[in-house]
């Protein structure tokens, strides 16, 4: 099954998401900030990334820059944030507002990017 990397510092949001994705059969890796996510990507094959933008140490925007320009990752990125989606970057597959996205919608969205996994 596919590996999902969740880059999210809010435990109350991250932990239920991890549990649900594991129930769906995904392998789940977690980082609390961009720096931790970079280390996980260097040492693991990641099929899709769920990314919050507001993170400690290294925010989501800086992480995206390194992901695409230095790590040359082609894994799709779904942004999960409560920031205005006008910040949407062409480097990401989707921009979802946390408060408006159900767990079921997110699971279905992930599946659309990993149909063969």
Domain borders along the chain are: 3-113
pTM above 0.85, yes or no: yes
The pLDDT, as a whole number, for residue 87 is 53
CATH number assigned to the domain covering 3-113? 3.40.50.2300
The Cα 33–Cα 20 span in angstroms is 21
Q: Which structure tokens are listed for 109?
A: 């969205």
Residue with tokens 């809010």: 10
Q: Which structure tokens are listed for 111?
A: 């599946």
Residues in the chain, total: 117
* Phi, psi (degrees; rounded to nearest 5) at 71: -85, -15
The pLDDT, as a whole number, for residue 113 is 94
The pLDDT, as a whole number, for residue 84 is 67
User: pLDDT tens digits, the chain, 117 residues: what are they?
Assistant: 899 999 999 999 999 999 999 999 999 999 999 999 999 999 999 999 999 998 999 988 899 999 999 999 999 999 998 876 655 566 788 899 999 999 999 999 999 999 665
The pLDDT, as a whole number, for residue 1 is 85
**Residues 7, 31 contacting (CB under 8 angstroms):** yes
């Amino acid at each position: 099954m596919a590996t999902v990397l969740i880059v999210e510092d809010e435990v109350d949001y991250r932990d239920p998401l991890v549990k649900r994705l594991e129930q769906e059969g995904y392998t789940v890796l977690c980082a609390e900030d961009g720096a931790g996510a970079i280390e996980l990507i260097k040492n693991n094959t990641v099929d899709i990334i769920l990314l919050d933008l507001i993170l400690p140490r290294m925010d989501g925007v800086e992480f995206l820059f390194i992901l695409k320009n230095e790590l040359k990752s082609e894994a799709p990125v779904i942004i999960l944030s409560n920031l205005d989606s006008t910040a949407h970057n062409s480097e990401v597959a989707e921009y979802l507002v946390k408060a408006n996205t159900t767990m079921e919608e997110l699971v279905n969205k992930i599946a659309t990017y990993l149909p063969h996994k």
